[in-house]
Amino acid sequence: MGNCASAHRNRFSASPDDIAVEMSSTQAAKEPPLCMIHGLMGCTMRKTGALAFIPVRAALGLPTPSLALPTKWEADVQASDGAVIGEPLTQIGCCGCVLHDQYGEFMEAFAKRRQDHFSYDWRRELGESAKRLEEHLEAMVKKYDAPVQCVAHSMGCMLLLAVMHRRPELIHSAIFAGGTFAGGIGYHFLLARGERIGLNGTLVAPETVATWPCAYATASPVGDPLLIGDDGTPHWQVLDKAKLKKGEAASIEIDFYDIETWERLGLGVFGHGEKPSDEMRAHVATALRLGKQFQREMRAVRHDPRDYPPCATLIGHGYQGEDFFLWDAEACTMKEVWRGDGLYVHKSSGPPPLEGAPPPCETDGLLPYFCSTLPPGVPHSKHRARHNGPAQKCGHMDLIDEVEQIDEILQELTAEASQRNKGMAKLPSTLKRHHTALTSLVSLTRRGGRQRASLLRNSIM
């Protein structure tokens, strides 16, 4: 990631100064305040005074503080490990070499804007983090006496959408870059195998990830309408490996929010070998229940689409990936890429697709295109990232580096918000007082969008 971010600067700007959005101090004061909401593992963290994430020691394979959270809960609030949350990740380097650069380019580009970026403990329960974001935006509105322009990335998009449903008046406009609105199998593979950080394979080990409630809150619920196309065809599915081997694409329904399903199929900690403790089982059950509750919050689309501020999505489409995963019933294991027994998932550089398998789908290198589209009922413009794809070696994590394109979209959203305000200003005072009621009556005639939004709201019981 660090090398890609560094190369990204060299490709798309002549010098670091060229990245900065051209803006005088007077212009900056007229712009709405800006808030960036990072994604998973998107900010620094300290424990007992030592840097826990992301220390250079981790990249070098040296011992680091544990990122595991306590598995005890009280009144649906997880115990704290005392971690102190820092700023969004920028450059991390050693001996003049940039090892990681996540949000440095974005923060440098918009440094002249009035801004208070939101950092949160990305390990914890997403409903808790969304409430903290709501409080953060409330404080910004009070501080600047204006609603906030938001740019969210990856998992941060989920938090922003949940808050927007509840409190749209806090938000001037918003860009959702690489959102995970239809999460599919969620963080299944992160729970199953963890993630290496440089030479370190223990910092984000499966046993550690199992203590993070966020890992249980991103999968799509059963019957998720966001996974079904307008023509009724599924965007994404889990297929039975044995049947696909015989040429039959048989879909398997997995309830990722049911603890008994996790135990039966050996998902997460139930597939690590030893039987988890009663406390760990209770932790997973609580995290799943709250995760499903958060999915409801994220899909609580307002009845009147005019309630929402101007919104846009920035989506990557430069990769081709599978739109299905294979479930190996014999091994009780999910297969992300299966290259045995003549079975292959779709890769642009891979072998020909298996007859009878679904066609490949566009992805940003991690998430399918359809996953990052806002739910029906939330009006928004769609923008394809200009530099996403294998040729540029830029994927999901680099969407936030599209600073020139993001600036253009922010300007469009600002103009749209301004037009809305002018329209309101022209209304007589009596109509202003009853504007919400009037627009609600008008929206009753827009049946199509409301029906899909209603389906979305009622899809998770």
Residue range 372-394: mean pLDDT, rounded:
92
Q: Residue 256 has what pLDDT? A: 95
Q: Residue 431 has what pLDDT? A: 46
Is 59 a residue whose pLDDT tops 80? Answer: no
Candidates 68, 129, 54; CA nearest to 98 is 54
Candidates 182, 224, 165; CA nearest to 456 is 224
Q: What is the mean pLDDT of the chain?
A: 82
Q: How far is CA 193 from CA 188, 267, 300, in A?
A: 9, 11, 32
Q: Of the ranges 60-64, 118-122, 341-345, 375-379, which is most confident?
A: 118-122
Residues 6+ apart with CB under 8 A from 12: 387, 404
Q: Identify the residue whose tokens are 């019933």.
A: 329
pLDDT tens digit sequence for 269-287: 998 888 999 999 999 999 9
CA distance 288 to 199: 31
Is 262 a residue whose pLDDT tops 70? Answer: yes
Q: Residue 351 has what pLDDT? A: 41
Contact 148, 33 (CB under 8 A): yes
Is 434 a residue whose pLDDT tops 50? Answer: no
pLDDT tens digit sequence for 312-327: 999 999 988 777 788 8
Q: Residue 27 has what pLDDT? A: 56
Taking the CB of residue 267, how many other CB atoms lie within 10 A of it? 21
Q: Residue 458 has what pLDDT? A: 56
Is 16 a residue whose pLDDT tops 50? Answer: no
What is the sign, positive or negative, of the torsion defined by CA atoms of 350, 352, 358, 364? positive
Is 50 a residue whose pLDDT tops 50? Answer: yes
Is 430 a residue whose pLDDT tops 60? Answer: no
Q: Residue 229 has what pLDDT? A: 81
- Of residues 95 and 171, which shows the higher confidence score? 171
Q: Identify the residue whose tokens are 């609030």.
A: 77
pLDDT tens digit sequence for 331-360: 778 876 444 434 433 334 444 445 555 667
Q: Quick one: pLDDT band at residue 224, thresholds 50, 70, 90?
A: confident
CA-atom Rg of the chain in angstroms: 22
Q: Residue 243 has what pLDDT? A: 85
311-315 and 195-197 as β-strands: parallel, antiparallel, unpaired? Answer: unpaired
Contact 325, 336 (CB under 8 A): yes
Residue range 74-90: mean pLDDT, rounded:
95
CA distance 37 to 243: 42
